[in-house]
């Protein structure tokens, strides 16, 4: 229930924003309200906006009612600046994704909802990138990157948003729009907002007129600094419009909404070399840093002894690290150049200059991509490793300080003493040393109230250390948030802090934009509203709620993302312990059945981008396993035990439905099927015009010829059941096509004994029927061991998801292949390819992505067609049979498919029959197995 004032807001907004984007239920306000910080604020109302008009409508309505608004991009913020208990204005999934670049790609205009890595993908073909490079760049969105002034390992201060931002389009709290690249907009703004301009000019004059303050600001921005407003804008710029543009950088949504930005692009060097340098202690490392800063080095990443310990067993970490002393400190150093000769010169120069420095071990630079990737994986693995080793139930706090590089060594030693004093163990330290910027992790258990008091006094000492002793930044790159808001005055002093207060007062006098962030009157705001992290399930207990999984989660923006599933499961688990009879628990459980469970495709793609490798799909499967009742388990057992009859019956049904479809046509059939499904309360599967007909029965050969190579072919039960759909060409079952192809390549096919009864068990497993799944896997393993002569012959399965499941469950000695790798490894050399002179579309199914086969799919298709297009589609959401039972999930998963298919594309190819049904339906062209394409364009090699 919305309270009175939020109900009034809702009623106003629903006249301009569809109600399904005005969210206020218990489950989604908690889920969508969560960000990566350790604070918990649950919004009253969430507004998903898709256009500037909707932003303006929301801001004006909130202003009229005196309600606070917080903007949200990807929610990866760590300092408590992307959460609220009032109105959360979230960038929707449809708008905010446009970009524009001039011919020379010297700049790029990006709307606020694009992720940083998407921008870099657009620029990569031209050897360019955007300047800011936070470690979260794959997930973080442009709005959040600019509003936090986020940066990372290579950007330093020079390439951050502040110094690479050319223009910006803003919406202020009263709905005023300013587009700094548009002369009309600038003029209109100047005349409408005369008082703002005058006040800013006065502030600028006040600062510029005081040399001590100018000196302080310049000194403090030599290193990274995101504490308070970017007051350097007031001394570096003369034009008030430019001042505003630069003040917005790092303003954390407290001054205006960012609609789009134009960045000057940076060069992406073409060659790089990386070295892991080990020094005997922190002080020696700091001496080396001062030298390296004078060298052509683009990144230098610190890892202290504890940090190294957390990763010393990981692949790519040299063995000798374990044997080194207790104070050893590492730097991961990267140098880059535009050609090989330049790179060699860089390495030589670094070597010569570092000669006087004592090393704990000799070092070398590598250009080998695998070795380089392993080293960077180690560096990036420090934070997740530290998190995954923490006790269950504890919070994760990453601090983010910077001090002048010359003082870094002393500061780090004092920091370590503070850890000891407060008995904070295992506080790993790492960071970007050229900027004097280090991070450290604390993992307190805030369910114990004394831990809050301890954290408070510890932080007060850290503040004293960083500010009083080293004149450093309390937040170097993660933003002030609520976490450092009480200490902004301490860091900047009363004069500059007064300027910051006035900045807020100019643009947001009612303090409605993200209150308590950046500037707060509450000295204890940083120790309030800690997020509970209760134990919930061993699969997800290490989750830090960072949100990195969301970009890969197909149900993100539809129902819940992987992170949000975990957040709600944590809440449900806690309520089951503390308030088992509460109506809130019942409500959350009821909603979770759809939002958490039914709409999870269980594809596990979330694990690919999770720093601690959590597969939330496994959580959902486990919950399903616990829900399966006796009758369900009995039925699953019956189906598993009679696969031959079940597949036979399904073939019969598909054949009958197909005949009816032919008779009635798609329109009548669609209407009939929808009506029947509605009458069954959505229990009957949803028919669609891309529905397959029956597959032909597989008739295995029994006689084998001597001297002819053999392979084992296991057609998945889906391929044995589902034949071509009405629009498919040729009208042949996949098994026929495969047989033809394999024989063309000169192989004999060995089918496993008892094929009709075999199944990999995946379908049972994903529904939680583990026992039947295990039984089917065991049967299949036995049959494949026999057919492959104890694992000697390669085994081919025509369906990627089944093969992926087999790889996880069957004897690792079996040589298992799915269509892409099998064709490339066994067939391609024996066939002549005559590529089609047209463009074909591809879809890499989740299991192919998880097996790293996306590039190989493209390579194979490129052998078969003049051009290949791989639309940017995540998991399609068909998820075995969810395309029938929860068709809206499939429709959401493929909502952007059609628009990405170029005109004239006639055929699409993939490696999973069920996914192909949804792809055909929503792409509006037939999708078939890639084997159809290979068969179409090949003949036996002459
Ligand atoms: C594991 C991990 C590693 C990280 N590493 C780094 C790092 O290396 N460097 C770094 O700098 N940061 C890092 N961060 C912090 C964070 O990812 C970045 O600050 C990131 O830029 C935030 O972007 P976002 O899209 O998630 O924004 P959000 O968190 O959604 O929002 C960030 C801020 O911007 C405001 N905002 C959002 N959209 C708009 C808009 N359109 N207009 C105005 N204001 C808006 C929000 O109100 C909020 O105050 C890391 C975070 C995590 C979890
Ligand atoms: S599941 Fe992984 S990626 Fe997702 S929020 Fe948790 S830790 Fe982050
Ligand atoms: S399994 Fe798929 S749908 Fe489910 S949480 Fe993970 S990515 Fe999202």
One-character DSSP codes across 113-125: TSBHHHHHHHHGG
- Residues 873-882 have a mean pLDDT of 89
> Is the predicted pLDDT of residue 645 greater than 90, yes or no?
no
Question: In 3D, which of 470, 592, 616, 472 has the Cα closest to residue 540?
Answer: 616
Q: How far is CA 153 from CA 134, 474, 653, in A?
A: 7, 18, 59
The pLDDT of residue 193 is 97
The predicted pLDDT at position 614 comes to 95
How close is the Cα of 618 to the center of ligand 3, in Å?
9
- 148 Cβ inside 6 Å of ligand 1: yes
Q: What sign does the dihedral 562-567-572-577 (CA atoms) show?
A: positive
CA distances from 386 to 394, 431, 612 (A): 12, 14, 10
Q: What stretches of 266-304 show up as alpha helix (H) in DSSP?
A: 282-292
Q: Is 36 in the pocket of ligand 2 (CB under 6 A)?
A: no
- Mean pLDDT of the region 898-906: 94
Kindly give the distance from the C-alpha atom of residue 152 to the centroid of ligand 1, in angstroms, as a whole number.
12
Pair of tokens at residue 815: 């040589």
- Terminal CA-to-CA distance of the chain, rounded, Å? 74
Distance between CA 125 and CA 835 in Å, rounded? 26
Closest ligand to C-alpha of residue 382 is 1
What local confidence, expressed as pLDDT, does residue 682 receive? 64
Mean pLDDT of 679-700: 71
To 10 degrees, the CA torsion angle through 865, 866, 872, 877? -20
Query: 74: which 2 tokens?
Result: 């990807």
Say how many Å lie between the CA of residue 887 and the centre of ligand 3. 16
379 lines ligand 1 (CB under 6 A): no
Q: Ligand 2: does its nearest atom lie under 6 Å from the Cβ of 567? A: no
Of all atoms in ligand 3, which is nearest to the CA of residue 604?
A: 1
CB 563 near ligand 3, within 6 Å: no
Name the range with the highest mean pLDDT among 364-378, 425-439, 584-598, 669-683: 584-598
The DSSP line for 682-742 is: T-SPPP-TT-EEEPPPP-------TTS-EEEEE--HHHHHEEEETT-SS---HHHHHHHHH
Task: Look up residue 721 and give its two tokens.
Answer: 């059941």
Atom from ligand 3 closest to the CA of residue 549:
7
Ligand 3: centre distance to CA 601 (Å):
6
Distance CA(939)–CA(658), nearest Å, equals 32
> What pLDDT was estimated at residue 447?
83
Chain mean position to CA 210: 46
The span from the CA of 41 to the CA of 53, in Å, is 27
Per the CB < 8 A criterion, the answer to whether 753 and 781 are in contact is no
Ligand 1 lined by 518 (C-beta under 6 Å): no
Q: How many whole angstroms from 429 Cα to the centroid of ligand 1?
A: 21
Please state whether beta strands 938-940 and 831-833 pair in parallel, antiparallel, or not at all (unpaired): antiparallel
Atom of ligand 1 nearest to the CA of 76: 26
In ligand 1, the atom with minimum distance to the C-alpha of 71 is: 47
Most confident of 460-464, 680-684, 767-771: 460-464
CA-to-CA distance for 622 and 119, rounded, in angstroms?
37
How many C-beta atoms lie closer than 10 Å to residue 903's C-beta?
5
- CB-count exposure of residue 927 (10 Å: 0-12, 13-18, 19+): buried
Mean pLDDT of 258-272: 94
Helix-helix angle 4-13:52-65, to 10 degrees: 150
pLDDT higher than threshold 70 for residue 673: no
Does ligand 3 come within 6 angstroms of the Cβ of 562?
Answer: yes
Asked whether the predicted pLDDT for residue 153 surpasses 90, the reply is no
Ligand 2, residues 140, 384, 544: which to mutate, most atoms within 8 A of Cβ?
A: 544
- 383 DSSP β-pair partners: none
Report the separation in Å between the CA atom of 406 and the middle of ligand 3, taken as the mean of its atom positions.
46
Q: Whose CA is nearest to atom 2 of ligand 2?
A: 610
Question: Confidence band (pLDDT; 50, 70, 90) for 736?
Answer: very high
683 CB neighbour count, 10 Å cutoff: 8
Is residue 607 within 8 A of residue 615, CB to CB? The reply is: yes
| Position in ligand 3 atom list of the atom nearest CA 601 | 3
Residue 671 has pLDDT above 90, yes or no: no
User: Which residues lie below 8 Å from residue 369, measured CB to CB, with a gap of 6+?
Assistant: none
pLDDT above 90 coverage of the chain, percent = 75
Q: Which of 82-91, 123-132, 604-613, 658-667 has the lowest mean pLDDT?
A: 658-667
| DSSP secondary structure code for residue 303 in this structure | E
As a whole number, mean pLDDT of residues 366-374 equals: 89
Whether 562 shows a pLDDT value over 90: the answer reads yes
pLDDT of residue 728: 86
Q: Which residue has the higher pLDDT, 48 or 646?
A: 48
Per-residue model confidence (pLDDT) at position 390: 85
Do 284 and 330 meet the contact criterion of CB atoms below 8 Å apart? no
Q: Is 561 in contact with 72 (CB distance < 8 Å)?
A: no
Ligand nearest the Cα of residue 565 is 3
Q: Is the CB of 241 under 6 A from ligand 1?
A: no
pLDDT of residue 795: 96
| pLDDT tens digit sequence for 881-899 | 888 889 999 999 999 999 9
Average pLDDT value for residue range 201-230: 96
Distance from the alpha carbon of residue 556 to the mean position of ligand 3, in angstroms: 8
Cis peptide upstream of residue 99 (ω within 30 degrees of 0): no
Token output for 241: 């419009």
pLDDT at 253: 98
Which ligand 3 atom is nearest residue 565's CA?
5
Provide the edge-to-edge strand list for the sheet that holds 865-869: 865-869, 836-842, 908-910, 927-929
pLDDT, tens digit, for every residue of 738-795?
999 999 999 999 999 988 899 999 888 887 888 899 999 999 999 999 999 999 999 9
Q: Is 31 in the pocket of ligand 2 (CB under 6 A)?
A: no
As a whole number of angstroms, the distance between CA 436 and CA 431 comes to 8
The pLDDT mean for the chain works out to: 92
Three-state SS for 54? helix
CA 547 to ligand 2: nearest atom: 5
Mutate to test the pocket of ligand 2, among 538, 610, 620 (most ligand atoms within 8 A of CB): 610
Q: Given pLDDT bands bounded at 50, 70 and 90, which one contains residue 322?
A: confident
Beta-sheet pairing, 87-91 with 99-100: unpaired
The residues, any chain, with a CB within 8 Å of residue 860's CB and separated by 6 or more, are 820, 823, 824, 828, 930, 934
Residue 243: per-residue pLDDT: 97
d(CA 286, CA 322) in angstroms, rounded, equals: 22
Q: Model confidence over 826-868: pLDDT tens digits?
A: 999 999 999 999 999 999 999 999 999 999 999 999 999 999 9
Nearest-ligand number for the alpha carbon of 605: 3
Q: What is the pLDDT of residues 625-642, one digit of tens each?
A: 887 767 777 777 777 777
Ligand 2 atom closest to 545 (CA): 5
Q: Whose CA is nearest to atom 11 of ligand 1?
A: 150
Q: Is there an atom of ligand 3 within 6 Å of 876 CB? A: no
Residue 48, beta-bridge partner list: 90
- What are the residues whose beta carbons fall under 8 Å from the beta carbon of 852, sequence distance 6 or more? none
| Cβ of residue 162 lying under 6 Å from some atom of ligand 1 | no
pTM of the model: 0.92
Mean pLDDT of the 723-739 span:
90
Give pLDDT, residue 104. 94
- For residue 267, the CA-to-ligand 1 centroid distance in Å is 24
- Burial string for 568-584 (b: 16+ CB within 10 Å, else e) reads bbbbbbbbeeeeeeeee
Per-residue pLDDT at 603 exceeds 80: yes
> Which stretches of 510-608 are DSSP H helices?
562-578, 583-592
């Amino acid at each position: 229930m919305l309270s009175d004032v939020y109900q009034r807001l809702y009623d106003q907004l629903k006249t301009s924003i569809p109600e399904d984007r005005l969210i206020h239920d218990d489950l989604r306000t908690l889920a969508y309200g969560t960000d990566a910080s350790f604070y918990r604020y649950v919004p009253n109302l969430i507004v998903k906006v898709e256009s500037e008009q909707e932003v303006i409508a929301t801001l004006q309505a909130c202003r009229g009612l005196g309600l606070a608004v917080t903007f949200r991009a990807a929610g990866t913020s760590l300092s408590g600046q992307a959460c609220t208990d009032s109105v959360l204005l979230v960038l929707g999934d449809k708008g905010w994704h446009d970009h524009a670049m001039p011919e020379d790609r010297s700049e790029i205009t990006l709307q606020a909802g694009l992720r940083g890595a998407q921008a870099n993908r657009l620029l990569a073909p031209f050897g360019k990138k955007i300047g800011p490079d936070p470690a979260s760049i794959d997930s973080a969105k442009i709005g959040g990157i600019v509003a936090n002034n986020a940066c990372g390992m290579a950007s330093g201060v020079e390439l951050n948003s502040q110094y690479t931002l050319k223009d910006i389009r803003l919406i202020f709290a009263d709905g005023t729009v300013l587009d700094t690249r548009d002369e009309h907009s600038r003029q209109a703004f100047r005349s409408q907002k005369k008082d703002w301009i005058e006040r800013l000019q006065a502030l600028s004059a006040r600062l510029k007129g005081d040399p001590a303050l100018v000196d302080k600001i310049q000194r403090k921005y030599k290193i990274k600094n995101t504490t308070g407003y970017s007051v350097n804008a007031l001394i570096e710029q003369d034009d008030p419009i430019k001042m505003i543009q630069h003040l917005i950088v790092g303003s954390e949504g407290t001054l205006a909404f960012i609609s789009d930005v134009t960045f000057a692009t940076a060069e992406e060097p073409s060659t790089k070399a990386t070295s892991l340098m080990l020094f005997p202690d922190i002080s020696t490392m700091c001496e080396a840093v001062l030298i390296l800063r004078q060298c052509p080095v683009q990144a230098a990443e610190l890892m202290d002894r504890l940090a190294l310990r957390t990763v010393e067993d990981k692949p790519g970490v040299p063995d000798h690290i374990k044997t080194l002393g207790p104070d050893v400190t590492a730097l991961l150093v990267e140098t880059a150049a535009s050609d090989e000769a330049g790179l060699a010169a860089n390495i030589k120069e670094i070597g010569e200059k570092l000669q006087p420095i004592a090393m704990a071990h000799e070092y070398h630079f590598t250009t080998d991509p695998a070795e380089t990737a392993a080293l960077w994986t180690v560096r990036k693995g420090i934070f997740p490793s530290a998190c995954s080793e923490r006790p269950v139930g504890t919070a994760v706090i990453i601090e983010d300080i910077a001090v002048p590089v010359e003082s870094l060594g002393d500061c780090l030693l004092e920091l370590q003493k503070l850890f000891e004093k407060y008995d904070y163990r295992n506080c790993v330290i790492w960071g970007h040393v050229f900027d004097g910027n280090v991070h450290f992790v604390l993992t307190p258990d805030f369910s114990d109230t004394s831990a809050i008091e301890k954290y408070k006094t510890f932080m007060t000492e850290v503040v004293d250390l960083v500010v009083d002793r080293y004149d450093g930044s309390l937040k170097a790159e993660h933003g002030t948030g609520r976490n450092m808001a009480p200490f902004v005055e301490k860091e900047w002093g009363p004069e500059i802090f007064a300027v910051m207060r006035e900045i807020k007062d100019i643009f947001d006098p009612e303090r409605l934009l993200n209150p308590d962030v950046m500037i707060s009157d509450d000295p204890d705001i940083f120790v309030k509203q800690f997020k509970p992290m209760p134990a919930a399930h061993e699969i997800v207990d290490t989750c830090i709620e960072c949100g990195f999984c969301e970009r890969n989660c197909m149900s993100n923006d539809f129902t819940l993302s992987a992170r949000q599933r975990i957040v709600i499961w944590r809440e449900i688990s806690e309520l089951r312990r503390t308030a088992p009879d509460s109506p809130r628990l019942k409500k959350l459980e009821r909603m979770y059945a759809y939002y958490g469970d039914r709409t999870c495709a269980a594809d596990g793609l979330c694990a690919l981008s999770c720093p601690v490798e959590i597969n939330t799909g496994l959580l959902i499967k486990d919950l399903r396993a616990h829900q399966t009742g006796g009758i369900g388990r009995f039925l699953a057992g019956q189906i598993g035990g009679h696969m031959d009859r079940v597949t036979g019956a399904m073939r019969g049904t598909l054949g009958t439905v197909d005949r009816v479809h032919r008779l009635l046509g798609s329109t009548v059939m669609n209407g009939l099927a929808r009506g029947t499904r509605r009458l069954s309360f959505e229990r009957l599967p949803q028919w669609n015009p891309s529905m397959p007909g029956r597959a032909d029965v597989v008739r295995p050969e029994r006689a084998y010829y001597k001297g002819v190579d053999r392979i084992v072919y296991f057609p998945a039960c889906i391929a044995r059941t589902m034949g071509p759909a009405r629009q498919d060409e040729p009208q042949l079952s996949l098994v026929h096509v495969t047989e033809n192809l394999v024989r063309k390549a000169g192989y004999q096919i060995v089918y496993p004994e008892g094929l009709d009864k075999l199944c990999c068990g995946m379908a049972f497993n994903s529904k939680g029927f583990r026992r039947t799944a295990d039984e089917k896997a065991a049967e299949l393993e036995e049959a494949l061991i026999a057919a492959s002569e104890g694992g000697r012959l390669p085994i081919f399965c025509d369906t990627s998801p089944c093969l992926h499941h087999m790889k996880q469950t069957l004897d690792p000695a079996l040589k298992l292949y799915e269509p892409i790798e099998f064709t490339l490894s066994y067939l391609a050399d024996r066939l002549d390819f005559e590529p089609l002179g047209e463009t074909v579309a591809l879809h890499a199914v989740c299991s192919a992505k998880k097996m790293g086969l996306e590039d190989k799919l493209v390579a194979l298709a490129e052998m078969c067609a003049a051009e290949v297009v791989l639309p940017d589609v995540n998991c399609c959401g068909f998820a075995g049979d969810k395309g029938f039972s929860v068709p809206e999930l499939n429709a959401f998963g493929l909502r952007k498919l059609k628009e990405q298919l170029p005109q004239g594309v006639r055929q699409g190819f993939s490696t999973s029959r069920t996914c192909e049904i949804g792809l055909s339906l929503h792409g509006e062209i037939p999708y078939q197995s890639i084997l159809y394409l290979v068969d179409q364009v090949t003949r036996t090699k002459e």
